Amino acid sequence: MRQAVQAFIISGVLLTAAGCGTATGPTPGAPAVPGTASAPPAATLAAEASTRSSCQALGEVYSKHIPPFAEALSKMVTGNKNAAGDQDSQRQVQQTLNAFATAIRESTQSSTDPQVRTDGKQTADKMQAKAADAGFFRAIKTSEEVNTVLGPTLTEWLAPVARHCS
């Protein structure tokens, strides 16, 4: 499980360094006119800069919030096996997921790209809905299930914002 956590931390750092899909070269398929070079319009450059900034902020959010979420999930599975301990562990996981969602919302709401703002809100809403679903966390009993939450499930939750940063 430790390897999965490390892999997610490393991928979060890589997300920070991602180019954010902001190529500034000519548009593929556009006809080339020999001897002319035109700069992209200022609005395009501003949108690319905003997206790049949002991607950097998302990378920082990911790097900051994945370790506590992963640790809380792991403790929930391996921790105290009495009812009070289970409830405390589950509450901790829910709090870390809520904090993660709030940070995603905050990091995308200032973007000048309305789609980034919409996708940030969608991602945060989905994560907060899962954080409120106690049954979701009660169903996580093994390290393999923790890895599934930290892998495919988390990837699915983050997909709306991640597509802007690839």
Domain-located, residue 120: yes
Domain-located, residue 23: no
Domain-located, residue 27: no
Rounded alpha-carbon distances, angstroms, from residue 119 to 54, 158, 160: 12, 9, 5
Quick: pLDDT tens for 50-102.
Answer: 778 888 999 999 999 999 999 999 999 987 666 556 788 999 999 999 999 99
Domain-located, residue 92: yes
Threshold 0.85, pTM exceeds:
no
Domain count, the chain: 1
Q: In degrees rounded to 5, what are phi and psi of residue 158?
A: -85, -5
Quick: pLDDT tens for 32-58.
Answer: 555 555 656 665 666 677 778 888 999
